Amino acid sequence: MNTAQIITPVIALAGWTILIWGWMLVTRLPALRAARVKLGKLRGGTGRNAEGVVPDAVQWKAHNYNHLHEAPTVFYAVALGLAVMGHGDGLNAALAWLYFALRVVHSLIQTLWNKVIWRLAVYVASQLVIAALVISAGCALLK
């Protein structure tokens, strides 16, 4: 029994986040240049300042990158907790891989065509997977 199996989808999701970051950079920086934004003269502000300045499809990558730092934080915490408790194998590892797959699908929907109803469906499914992992971790703590 390898209770650290759950670590692999954790690392995979972190890697996916870095991939989206790279995609965001290679699309957003040229779009900012094309919009004649002088990055060297900007002070303060946030990524939201690019809304309406660069094409929406470029911003979708930035939005998704931000989303990969929101809900997945619960996934990271509970998955690592399950691994530490010795419950990172079997069903929990499978649920972690399912969560990873759903986040990849969510990213592809958001970055490529951004149909909100589809994003929402995948997001809700991913949150249900996190809920199952949290319940599993809670049960492990009670044993």
Position 128 pLDDT exceeds 70 = yes
Sign of CA dihedral 117, 19, 9, 97: positive
Amino acid of residue 77: A
Position 46 pLDDT exceeds 90 = no
Domain count, the chain: 1
User: How far are the Cα atoms of 40, 44, 55 from residue 62, in angstroms, in the given order?
Assistant: 20, 18, 12
Position 48 pLDDT exceeds 70 = no
User: How far are the Cα atoms of 28, 74, 88, 97, 108 from residue 105, in angstroms, in the given order?
Assistant: 21, 18, 23, 12, 5
Print the domain residue range for 42: 7-142
What is residue 77's predicted lDDT score, i.e. its pLDDT?
98
Separation between Cα atoms, residue 42 and residue 71, nearest integer Å = 30
Q: Which CATH number do you get for residue 68?
A: 1.20.120.550
In a domain, 1, yes or no: no
Provide the whole-model pTM. 0.93
* Most confident listed range (39-48, 51-60, 62-71): 62-71
In a domain, 2, yes or no: no
